[in-house]
Structure 1
Amino acid sequence: MAFKPALVIVDVQEDFCPPNGSLAVQGGRDIVPSINELLAFPFAVKIATKDFHPQDHISFASNHQPPNNKPFESTITIQNPLNPEETEETRLWPDHCVQGTKGSELVPELDVSKVQHIVEKGQDKRVEMYSAFADPFTTNVSRSNLAQILKDVGITDVYVVGLAADYCVKFTALDSVKEGFKTWVVGEATKAVDTSALPEVHKEYEKVGVSVIGMGDLTKVKGYTS
């Protein structure tokens, strides 16, 4: 199959960026110039994703009773509503990226004029959804239309950037492989919540064949013509 690349920009939203984001990743805004540079490359399709939670989302610490409701510290076990035998443990967060709020908006310095699709995720209040493709359950409760968009265009390779490297970028990249795409993460165009977690993230990538590359390693994309 001929090389046909896509760019997926994960969750570069106000709530994930300083100075005012409720769940700001340190240096989150600093990657936007690199992402804008990538947006000028001839990807076959360019997609931005957004966390887009209802106010009563299960991942918000504010929706749980004390003492197990400390943002960043407390964890809960989520039971799959479609298959009660399947469970996932997840961390609780401050309210973030609530539908219709300033925090859910893509940062204004991101060149969205070059983005063809905006994919919203995390809309089902019952499940966590770090990946831009689907929630983590084997029997999915919530799936976005990202895989369908990529398959409809005939994409072979997915290049993932954005926030955060150790959460939504990681799970999006891992799911991209599951969906059948050769997957690349552009290191300089991501930031992590916890940089000490990155070696473990990269080990997970190695197991499934995700490649972490630099901005200088995109010569194949630059030379792509549809």
Structure 2
Amino acid sequence: MAFKPALVVVDVQEDFCPPNGSLAVQEGRDIVPALNALLSLPFVIKIATKDFHPQDHISFASNHAPPNNKPFESMFTIANPHNPGETQETRLWPDHCVQGTKGAELLPELDVSQVHHIVEKGQDRRVEMYSAFADPFTSPNVTHSNLAQLLHEKGVTDVYIAGLAADYCVRFTALDARKEGFNTWVVGDATKAVDPASLPDVRKEYEKVGITIVGKDEAVQRLKDA
């Protein structure tokens, strides 16, 4: 089968970056040059994703009662609104990437002119949605984006994923890309993590399902050779 690669740039938004982001990932802005280098390459399709939450989103600590509403610390069990027996435990976060706010905007230094589609996620207030494909519920799924459709329509074989954050939205987007049947590559030096100490466990998770971490230069070279 011909090599038909796609690029997915995950959540490179103001609220995930210093200096003013409410959920800023340390050195989050520093990956933009690497992302722009990737965006300049001839991928079959280039997609940027955005967290795009309503103000009353269930993942915001501000929408929960004290004392169990401390951002970054408190955990909350979310039940599938269509099947209460299926649950997911999630961490509570500061308000972030609220629709219509500056924090939800992609970084101005990101070369969005090279992006073919912007996929918005996390719009259903009832569920967490780290993955750019769908929420984590399966029995049944509650909400999903059009990302899988966009990739399959283009006949994509390989998906390269970069952006923020390596241990959350990049991670779950990569796992879902693999579930969708794509060869999946995470561009490690074009990501940053909320908690860098978690990355060895993320790598083990990738190894189990056949996701490969590559460097930007390796990805660039493969695209040039294709």
TM-score (norm 2): 0.98
Q: What secondary structure does 1:151 align onto?
A: helix
Residue in 2 that maps onto 1:59? 59
Distance 2:170 2:36 in 1: 17
Distance 2:124 2:31 in 1: 29
Residue in 2 that maps onto 1:78? 78
Q: What secondary structure does 2:217 align onto?
A: helix
Asked if 1:100 corresponds to 2:82, the answer is no
Distance 2:131 2:103 in 1: 19
Q: What count of residue pairs does the alignment treat as equivalent?
A: 224
Percent identity between the two aligned chains:
76
Distance 1:114 1:215 in 2: 17
Residue in 1 that maps onto 2:8? 8
Residues 43-94 of structure 1, C-alpha deviations (whole Å, 9 max, x = no match): 1110000000000000000000000100000000000011111000000000
Distance 1:161 1:140 in 2: 25
- How far residue 216 of structure 1 moved from its aligned partner, in angstroms, is 2.1
Asked if 1:187 corresponds to 2:188, the answer is yes
Distance 1:76 1:3 in 2: 42
- Moved >2 Å (runs of 4+): none
Residues 155-185 of structure 1, C-alpha deviations (whole Å, 9 max, x = no match): 0000000000000000000000001100000
Distance 1:223 1:90 in 2: 42
Residue in 2 that maps onto 1:223? 225
Distance 1:190 1:174 in 2: 15
Q: What secondary structure does 1:177 align onto?
A: helix
What amino acid maps onto 1:196 in structure 2?
A: A
Q: CA RMSD, aligned part only? A: 0.6
Q: Which runs of 5 or more structure 2 residues have no equivalent in the other structure?
A: none
Distance 1:216 1:29 in 2: 19
Distance 1:183 1:161 in 2: 11
Asked if 1:173 corresponds to 2:171, the answer is no
Distance 1:110 1:216 in 2: 19
Q: What secondary structure does 1:21 align onto?
A: coil
What amino acid maps onto 2:118 in structure 1?
A: I
